[in-house]
Structure 1
């Protein structure tokens, strides 16, 4: 900023000097020409009275104007002691001969004279002066001194203002370096300064607050995951240790009858499946909103049907009834399918074997509405506000498999797609989970296909 201020002042002074010098030079030239005209007219008047050959020419005083009389024969008269002027030019000679009334010459004279020739009688008179650049030089020197002083003063003022204006930036930089070195996200940067600097500090404080929340969420996720992993891992370890101990003793067959071994192996398989599910859900939660999958225009009905097909293969004892209509949305197909699968899995845990899980999809205004309900005991009013929290499990659900992450993932996916998920009680007495997503316009080429997409399947 100091260099910029000094440079700007230097450029301003230079431009001002050029303009002022040009204006001053023009003014001096105009004044000198006016004076030449006036002096030549006085000399011409005297020559007309006394004649060109007899007009008195006082001795040259040593400085000032130079005069010369051009006689009809082309000869010249000059005052005694006057410096010799350049020879009469061809153009001035023609003026003396009557070709013109007057002439001002300066560009073609090497000695720097300005000569004004005025026709008088049968000849002419000339008045000349020596071009004097001293006023311009003195003016330029004065402007140079003033310019240097202005540049120095501007640099000093610019540096002072810059240091005062950038002092909050220096403190902000120091605070940012301190946070980076200490990893202390709890130390807010003091809100000082004004304008853009204050906005910058507030933005950085907001960023630090977001980082604090993210770190807290990571800590809670690690603690909750550790707690959730402890139970299935302990059970799995005890069962495996039991099998190893009995096998080493050679009493595996006698101590565990075939029915007990089958039940134990079934428990081990269920525990491994539960750990796999929990690991996948933890990975999904830890990824947050970061996904490499791109959004695209999709028929939500295809996603629901695919999720229901996967749910049937995972829960062969539970019937899934579909009643879906073609509704187009913009989103990530894999993420939406995972959310729908979690909804169906959750309903399958509670639905009696003789009651299907009902999945309905329809268009409602500008939204695509998905409903999944079961005929289970439903969700208590006290648990409804927390069913979408991570790792939250109602007291009645602690005996069932699961980690409490499924519905949390559903809410995150729905929020990422600009939708809303709610919980209510279905007409069959169970839980009704409803997802609303912004609908999109169907491709024109698919209009005929969409009309035949409505289906009800079991």
Structure 2
């Protein structure tokens, strides 16, 4: 249980954190000036005190020498003491027997101290001492003849008081002025932040990501505005990409959905008339049902690819140290089961990489499926995996017509399909997914012409280092 004394600093801290930045800057400026004025006041007072004391001491020494000279010439008992004027210095003569003489009407001085008595006896040199009385006398004792003379004075504190009052007034003025200046500086310095906040609020309310925030100010302000503009640009690109994905998806879905709707409407119309068997020959009905099945498969494939593509790099799959040869073999087996009439020739060697097995298998499967669409029935799809330097190189080629030079730059674009591929099944997303998976693994995907005249798609992935293989790092990491 915290004590009340512990709660006060916490309460003060919470109060301070709730203040605006302007208020903080104003308080800091006023406090800094107040501390500076206080320190300057203390230094000035100390210097003035030292100067006044030094001046008083010099005056006492000079007066003591004059009185001592007169006392030695006329004697301590006969020396004429200056009359007391009601203020100023006080004098006293210490006779050899220890008694003292003072001017008539002069206020009494403190008793002769032991050290002053030794000076009068010649046992010690001249002496300057201060008393602890309310008047705080400074007494200078100087040996003269068989005794000593003393001259006492009080330091004039009126100048110190006047200086203190002046410094106090100046300090208050400086604190108030510092607070006003701090407020003005805070308002001027934070003006770009205010405009930045207003622009951010406007963007949040209007959802207008095209309104860049004007670049103003310098240093950290300019860096902050630049970062926010970069963020807005990234959001614009993301929204544009989402819009394009939605538009392209709607365009790609339109054709199979239209065909599917027309075929279903035909079946429904014939069924309502009761002429399904007579109005649609068996051969036509079989072809229609096959078309329906193909269209449903095409829609399912497109929906799955859209879902996978829309997820981007977000995946719950962990990164593992895997043998890419196992992934390639599994993908080839899956491709063979989906298209039994496609022959796949494997030439793979063991290459270890760090990656997500399911994502990599999906990418390899898409490469093989793409090659299978173009490879002639009597020509196999060749899949090769090897190590080349510090990279794992995967090549998939077919003996088809190849890719036109005009289509090469857009092969990996979403929904892009060459003119020659429009009649073939597919969504135009397969190679785009390949590109995304390869990029997520720090690799590179390229396209070239195969020695057999078809397309050669190549994927380069960073191979796992020998140190990791030696250490046996096979645990999954995020």
Instruction: Measure, in 1, the Cα distance between the counterparts of 2:402 and 2:362.
Output: 22
Alignment partner of 1:313 is 2:313: no
Q: 1:216 to 1:444 in 2, by over 3 A?
A: closer
Say which of 53, 69, 82 aligns to 1:29: 53
Q: Report the alpha carbon displacement of residue 264 of structure 1 after superposing the two structures with TM.
A: 4.4
Q: Which residue of 2 aligns with 1:270?
A: 294
1:145 aligns with 2:172: no
Q: Tell me whether 6-15 or 217-226 shows the greater mean CA deviation.
A: 6-15
2:219 to 195, 216, 233: 195
* CA-CA distance at 1:379 after TM superposition: 1.4
1:359 corresponds to which residue?
Answer: 383
**CA deviation after TM superposition for structure 1 residue 104, in Å:** 2.6
Specify the alignment match of 2:139 in structure 1.
Answer: 115
Cα shift readout 1:79-128 (whole Å, capped 9, x = no counterpart): 11211112223333343344422333226334321222233333322221
Counterpart for residue 81 of structure 1: 105
CA distance in 2, matches of 1:25, 1:322: 100
Distance 2:68 2:164 in 1: 38
Bigger CA drift: 150-159 or 335-344? 150-159
Q: Is the aligned partner of 1:381 residue 2:405?
A: yes
Q: Residue 38 in 1 paired to residue 87 in 2? A: no
- Residue 256 of structure 1 and its aligned partner are, at CA, apart by 5.9
8 Å CA contact 2:363, 2:433 repeated in 1:
yes
Question: Residue 19 in 1 paired to residue 68 in 2?
Answer: no
| Residues in 1 aligned to 2:160 and 2:351: alpha-carbon distance in whole angstroms | 85
1:246-285 deviations in Å (ceiling 9; x for gaps) = 5566665666676665554443333232222211211122
Contact 1:58–1:80 (8 Å) recurs in 2: no
SS at match of 1:19: helix
Aligned equivalents of 1:448, 1:215: Cα separation in 2? 43
Are the structure 2 counterparts of residues 302 and 141 from structure 1 closer, same or farther at C-alpha, using a change threshold of 3 Å?
A: farther
Instruction: Please name the residue that 2:86 is paired with.
Output: 62
Equivalent residue for 1:182? 206
CA distance in 2, matches of 1:103, 1:420: 96
Q: Cα offset for 1:57?
A: 0.6
Task: Give TM-score scaled by structure 1 length.
Answer: 0.88
Tell me if the contact between 1:36 and 1:116 (Cα under 8 Å) persists in the aligned partners.
yes
User: Structure 2: how far apart are the matches of 1:4 and 1:293?
Assistant: 52
* 2:439 equivalent among 405, 415, 418: 415
Cα 1:310/1:19, change in 2 over 3 Å: farther
**Mapped contact 1:236–1:268 kept (Cα < 8 A):** yes
**1:448 CA displacement:** 11
1:171 aligns to 2:195 (yes or no): yes
C-alpha distance in 2, partners of 1:185/1:27? 70
The C-alpha deviation readout for 1:45-104, integer Å capped at 9, x for no partner, is 222222222221121012111111122222211111211112223333343344422333
Q: Does 1:395 align with 2:419?
A: yes
Shift of 1:404: 0.3
**Structure 1: distance between partners of 2:337 and 2:247:** 33
Distance 1:423 1:282 in 2: 23
Deviation sequence 1:183-208 (CA, Å, 0-9, x none): 11222223333333333333333322
The 8 Å contact of residues 137 and 153 in structure 2, kept in 1 or not, is answered as: yes
Change (3 A) 1:86 1:201: same
* Cα separation, partners in 2 of 1:300 and 1:40, compared to 1, 3 Å: farther
Greater CA drift, 77-86 or 306-315: 306-315
Q: Distance in 1 between matches of 2:383 and 2:342?
A: 13
Cα distance in 2 for residues equivalent to 1:334 and 1:54: 122
Aligned residues: 449
